[in-house]
Amino acid sequence: MSGPTKSARELWGGHFATDAAPLMERINASVGFDKRLWAEDLRGSRAHARMLADRGIVSAADRDAILAGLDAIAREIEEGRFVFDPKLEDIHLNIEARLTERIGEAGRRLHTARSRNDQVATDMRLWVRGAIDRAEALLRALQAVLIDKAERHAADVMPGFTHLQAAQPVTLGHHLLAYVEMFGRDRDRFASARRRSNECPLGAAALAGTSFPIDREATARELGFDRPMANSIDAVSDRDFALDYLSAAAICAVHLSRLAEELVLWATPQFGFVVLPEAFTSGSSIMPQKRNPDAAELVRGKSGRVIGHLVALLTVLKGLPLAYSKDMQEDKEGLFDAADTLELCLAATAAMLDGARFDLARLRAAAGLGHTTATDLADWLVRVKGVPFREAHGIAARAVRRAEERGCQLDELEDAELAAIDPRLEPAVREVLGVDRSVASRTSLGGTAPVRVREAVAAARARFLGEGGS
């Protein structure tokens, strides 16, 4: 096994008379985590080498040696033969030292007209771009599961809640489509973050640009960026692209957590709305009857990690003067963990939902509990009898109180009882007191009527999955 052997100070520290203290090496080294950037670092170095040769800054022979050496290093890393040396601080110096060891003097020319400051900023933008693309694909897959479930349950009634109290009947399909919309906005936030981050820092050098006649447009183009960053100080000193990713990830994690919380509640015997797949639950070491919704609970819990990483990076950056400071090395571990956590939670949620089975009878029975059609009674008085809504609201409230006194549902009140509450409550009002009629009546755009839910499913397939659209 071969690898770099020199210390970082031998590469950049010619005016230092002493070695770094062991504690300094420990606090300064980042290769233990930034080695994840190796593919992005090699990609940026290849583009930089080609540009240097095209501009006559290095020879074609040096370029070819550099490119061959970088390809060899890629194979070493992929095969697990590369030695990541913490004495060389970071992934950039590790690769540069190994390149020089392999190809000699040409390897020393690669760093012409660039700094580790613009190098790492470029690597990080490339990495974040990839993380955004992975999140987008996973969100789309989760939406596909939800849309399929929503279509299957477009007409299956359940209780809708406000304050976790029974409010009005809705359909299960309508409820699930709410999350489809949330995750759609998450996808849009990631897409927006990708668009803003897609500018190339390479060529900004340490902070002031370079005196070499480089072609920043060429390197930006080769690396798939829309354009070079306009200001060299900004290019190396900000990490708002990482904040953009973390912000979108944190909001997405909150949406996942809300969905997970509902699954946790719904899987209890007290609710009994859903049975989660055994593969995503666990048992108890002492209570043999238990099926704990551990996957959902972990998705709920892991949202805190993602939110915390956003707050941590905001705190790191908030007091930094321009341009680069070593504090910015703290942008990576939290970012990497946030991406890993979010991707795991997205995949687990999709798989868990795909195997979930809803108890439709239990949902239907619960849909009528808590006098959830009281608003329908009030609306009937307004629509049929011309009663002002506030007056109708009071009449419906008195009907609810009477039902509570009797321990029955609204539709179980006798005709005489309804008439005693208000003579305008004729027997015809019963046509709106059933949960099926209630949901069927909610035909406004975005409403829960099954006909609207089926339309919304088709629209969601076109908007989010690219299926069936014109």
Active site residues: 163, 284
Please state the φ and ψ torsions of residue 26, each to the nearest 5 degrees: -70, -45
Q: How does 44-80 read in b/e, with b if 16+ C-beta sit within 10 Å?
A: bbbbbbbbbbeeebbeeebbebbbebbeebbebbeee
Classify the phi-psi angles of 94: left when phi > 0, otherwise alpha if psi is within -120 to 50, otherwise beta.
Answer: alpha
Q: Is 134 exposed, middle or buried (0-12, 13-18, 19+ CB in 10 A)?
A: middle
The CA distance from 30 to 19, in Å, is 18
Helix H, strand E, coil C: the string for 64-105 is HHHHHHHHHHHHHHHCCCCCCCHHHCCHHHHHHHHHHHHHCH
Q: Helix, strand or coil for residue 384?
A: helix
Vertex 100: Cα angle to 98 and 104 (nearest 5): 140
Token readout for 279 is 């593969």
Instruction: Give how far the C-alpha of residue 377 lies from the chain's centroid of Cα atoms, to the nearest Å.
Output: 42
Vertex 155: Cα angle to 466 and 440 (nearest 5): 110
- How big is the chain by its Cα radius of gyration, in Å? 31
Q: How far apart are the first and last CA of the chain?
A: 57
User: Would you tell me the crossing angle of helices 374-385 and 389-406 to the nearest 10 degrees?
Assistant: 140
Q: Report the run of H or E that residue 357 belongs to, with start and end.
A: strand 357-358
Q: Helix, strand or coil for residue 110?
A: coil
Residue 413 and residue 402 in contact, taking contact as beta carbons nearer than 8 Å: yes
Residue 447 and residue 173 in contact, taking contact as beta carbons nearer than 8 Å: no
